[in-house]
Structure 1
Amino acid sequence: MNKPERLLYIYTRLLNGKHLNKSTLAQALNINLRSVQRDFSDINNFLYEDEEWRGLNAKIVYDNILETHSLQTFPLKIRQQMLITLLYQIKGTLPVVHEDIYKFIEQYSFSSTNHKVLVHNLLKKFHIKERDYNYSSFIQVARCIDAKYNMTITTRAGAHLYVSPINIHVIDDEFWMTYIKDDLIDAIKFEDIAHLNETSINYTFADMTIKNMITLSISVSFWQYVSTEYNIISSYDKDDKIIAQILMSKVECFALIKKYYKHIKIIAPEAYRDELINHLKTIINQYL
């Protein structure tokens, strides 16, 4: 293997997030350790000089604990601080983590002992789920949502659905997919999906007449969150509020009101409004 091929070999693996051991790499490429180090230096020079990488602080770094080289685009300390911050955010919204993710974070190499202890204590506050998630299904659904492609779904109960996926949310520690089927908005837990397939058939909201469209009254201060999180069909100002027709399922609506009741009021469908009122009355009666 000549040097240009060798550089591409190393560069490709670094881009894919691989951690490269110098000795293992030297054996695989049939070169000496000094040549490997020169290749790393050449790639680092390219990362420094190339316009596409400018501003990203990208460089090949050495991990003393793992004894490997990897591509880093943020200083290690900042990456570790970002991970800890992310864990705090996740704990506040989804205090459940899958066993594989738990093990991945637990085994992450921290340069600071304080960081390692902090992450360990944080992870103990999560509920560990041993259920096996099909992570590829999240990617498939997200891809179809982005491209506005329809999907076919087979549920674990044996139902076959042809749907237009519109959102993914975490509700009560569960992942849900919101979809439109036969002009009705509904939602399904990912764990209830046995199989799904993407299609290349596009959908457009303009071609749909949603029968259970949700209308909310939203405070102006909270409008930005809602408008970026959900598909808004129409909206207008009224009495210091924003009245909006939103593509969301009943599950999403009730979860949103439960969490942000000071900012949101449901207007339609009336059946959803009555169901929510009855649910709240049931809760109140427990304290009377």
Structure 2
Amino acid sequence: MFLKSKRLIERKEGLDQLKEILKDKGKALIIHYSCESFVTSHGRTPRVTSISVRSMETAQMKSFSIHIQAQFDGKNFNNLNPEDYDTLEKKMLFEFYKYMKSNKDKKWIHWNMRDSNYGFEAIANRYKILGGNPFHLDDDRKYDFPRILGKIYSYAYEKNKPDGRLLNLAIRNEISTRDTLTGKQEAAAYDDKEYLKLHRSTLRKVDIMDNIIHRTEQDKLKVNLTKVKIYGLTIPGIIEIVKNNWILFSIWTILFYVLGAATEPIVQRYFGLGQ
């Protein structure tokens, strides 16, 4: 009995986390958001422009955005002054946290939303700055999908350049990136007050994430790694590669059968088996 390698143990952890998320898709939500550039915010918490949340079971989308809130308030979202923006952003985040609180028992799947620069904490800090009281979602309800992918495939599953892992992975898997913006493009869109563009990009990225999760579940996701890198260059790893490839498994079975048939007379001759 072969002991499993560290790579296979980590891979099993990732697959178990994926199974945990997807065992009840009615309780799984995908979240992504867009915000002001970290560079142009000059060290302060970046303003939030839009947040999108998608149900994995129904594919229904819940959106919170500056341009929608501006229309609710009868404002021209192409011509907002800083005071207008603060008011609209606070209202938008109030609605977001109300939604989060009503879905606090769901599993929130995200893409690198881990810290005070970009993540749940950054959104909460922004709301506090505006005078709000954010709802605290328990950390065990948050699932960082890139980390799960890293455990399943190893952390070199995709390159960061030129457009970031999410979009690079989408392109590799021929998933539409229509309406998406890169980091630089999002910064430019914010500076140009193109909030609708930012919102569309957020919506599309949530759709991409859903597609990537589905392909991972079906074991059809293409990554920037060989099977050896995914499973590890060990005897257990090689066995896993063979088990997960029907062509290799068929060849292995035939070779094992031929080898057994060829060695059977020798075994019987020297050990007297079958007499």
Q: Report TM bin, short chain.
A: under 0.3
Larger helix percent = 2
TM-score by length of 1: 0.26
Q: Say which structure is richer in strand.
A: 1
- Higher RCO structure (Cα 8 Å, ≥6 apart): 2
**TM-score, with length taken from structure 2:** 0.27
